[in-house]
Chain A
Amino acid sequence: METPSPLLRVRNLTQAFGPLLACADISFELHSGEVLGVVGESGSGKTTLLNCLSARLTPTNGIVEYDLRGRGLTDIYALSEPERRLLLRTDWGVVMQNPRDGLRMNVSAGGNVGERLMAVGARHYGAIRREAEDWLAKVELDLGRMDDKPKHFSGGMQQRLQIARNLVTKPRLVFMDEPTGGLDVSVQARLLDLLRGLVRELRLSAIIVTHDLAVARLLADRLMVMKDGKVVETGLTDQVLDDPHHPYTQLLVSSVLQV
């Protein structure tokens, strides 16, 4: 076939909070192996969109379909609650902007990673521990800290642990909300390098929300620009950044020094 069916298909997604349209009539497709960046000003609806896509917030209107293994494109909000939870634990990863929301702060670093493996059926303690070690090494966390609780980690370490926790089960699709937000520049560079490598190596599909156009340039194949809940421009990342057409995108691109 010319074009394979998409991994995720979103049609006319709308999320209203009272009179406020946080997401208004959004439609797009994500293909396997593709990384989509979502950019836009604060309050434009990026996190809301991510929540709706990742089965954590039922949209007011519209359909989100995911290519379930063995079932094909399936409306994720027509799944039962246990089915949805299983999806979130196995096929998907969600990296939250605040690692506190994505980690269990009172469980050891190794436990945070091992827990996900156990959720998909791993039972052998030694194997789980080895796999957890592998992943902590991949995200460059000191193995000596494996038994420490993440509440004592720095922000950058917590973020890397969150990434390890989410990728250990080899998800097909990862949602990330500002994965490099709040980190200093050198930590950001390492995290980006790590993410770039993992996305290529694991052939991950990802939707990454970021306000940082340089991050978008580095990680995303395609970009979606949001303003006031609406998608105002989409295209290949370099097209959108180098030849923006919509007035808002031009403003966004011209307000940063160089990306």
Chain B
Amino acid sequence: MTQEDNESAAAIRVENLTKTFVLHVQGGARLPVFADLSLEVAAGECVALYGPSGSGKSTLLRSLYANYKPGRGHVWVRHAGDSGGGWIDMAGAPPHRVLEVRRRTVGYVSQFLRVIPRVPARDIVAEPLHALGVPLADARARAEALLGRLNIPAAMWDLAPATFSGGEQQRVNIARGFAVDYPVLLLDEPTASLDAGNRAVVVDLIHEAKARGAAVVGIFHDDEVREAVAERVFDLSKERGAA
């Protein structure tokens, strides 16, 4: 597809995004990560963020989720929400709008699971779906299907993941990220601590998400995974600017 063909189907559009950290606890040191970065991702497309360690891949991904606040620029997301749809700027929208976009439109799989005390794996996965109004029983059924596909034994579904291994926790995290059919998916090294079998499951999940029209932005340190899922690579090492 050409860039023009994609235009109408764009799901996320980043314009002139600039991020510089100012570290006040370290004497006000300025750390420019990227400047005037622009990127567009179409529905059904997967773009892999690429570049050496520290080049700003995670920083960009977090900025797309409005977890980091960029200094300048826009992160336009096509959102179909309760209070009307349209393009919403994640870098400028008020907090309750950002939360609404996160509930419905943009999913994010972080590198590590944030364990919630006493909440069992099944409910951690079901929670985002239930929060959208899906009945708890249905949300749990979907959670179980995903946990099963990711080879988490049924005996562990009732346990809080605090004691799970790194790879097990990451698979719970992935299941949670895929529980809702988000139109936009952000994935930070989802396969980093997984064996070959589970990597293949994640690759399948990403293919399925794209097939239903999701736009995917991901960081994949594994060349094989990246080549299997991404149609394009976006190189962060070219984006550094003295912002």
Binding site for B on A (CB under 8 A): 2-3, 31, 34, 189-190, 192-193, 196, 200, 218, 221-222, 235-236, 238-239, 242-243, 245-247, 250-251, 254
Contact = CB atoms under 8 A, between A and B. Distances in A.
Nearest to B117: A189
Contacts of A254: 25
7 residue pairs, one from A and one from B, having the closest CB atoms: A247-B24, A189-B117, A193-B118, A243-B68, A250-B24, A236-B95, A250-B25
Contact of A236 (B21, B66, B118, B131): B66
B94 to A, nearest CB: 7
Interface in B198-229: none
A8 to B, nearest CB: 14
A221 B22 CA distance: 25
B95 A222 contact: yes
A251 B26 CA distance: 10
A254 B24 CA distance: 11
B96 A31 contact: yes
Contacts of B62: 242-243
Interface string B96-135: 1011000000000000000011110000000000010000
B22 A245 contact: yes
B23 interface: yes
B72 interface: no
24 contacts: A3-B94, A34-B96, A189-B117, A189-B118, A190-B118, A192-B117, A193-B116, A193-B118, A196-B116, A200-B131, A221-B96, A222-B95, A235-B69, A236-B66, A236-B98, A239-B66, A242-B62, A242-B68, A243-B21, A243-B62, A245-B69, A246-B24, A247-B24, A254-B25
B118 A239 contact: no
Interface of B: 21-25, 62, 66-69, 83-84, 94-96, 98-99, 116-119, 131
Contacts of B119: 193
B53 to A, nearest CB: 19
A254 B68 CA distance: 16
Contact of B68 (A193, A222, A239, A246): A239
A3 B100 CA distance: 12
A2 B83 contact: yes
Given A193-B119, A250-B25, A251-B24, A243 B99 contact: no
A242 B117 contact: no
Main secondary structure of the interface of A (DSSP, over half): helix
B25 A236 contact: no
A193 B117 contact: yes
Given A2-B83, A193-B116, 8 more contacts: A3-B83, A3-B94, A3-B96, A189-B117, A222-B95, A239-B68, A242-B68, A250-B23
B22 A239 contact: no
Contact of A243 (B25, B69, B95): B69
> Which of A193, A236, A242 neighbours the largest number of chain B CB atoms within 10 Å of its CB?
A236
Contacts of A190: 117-118
Nearest to B119: A193
A138 to B, nearest CB: 15
Contact of B67 (A189, A193, A196, A242): A242
Given A34-B96, A221-B95, A250-B25, A243 B117 contact: no
A218 B99 CA distance: 15
A50 to B, nearest CB: 20
Nearest to B83: A2
B211 to A, nearest CB: 30
A169 to B, nearest CB: 25
Nearest to A254: B25
A80 to B, nearest CB: 33
Nearest to A214: B117
B118 A218 contact: no
A200 B22 CA distance: 36
Contacts of A246: 24
Contacts of B83: 2-3
A44 B98 CA distance: 29
A221 B67 contact: no
B25 A247 contact: yes
A238 B96 contact: no
Contacts of A251: 24-25
Nearest to B59: A243
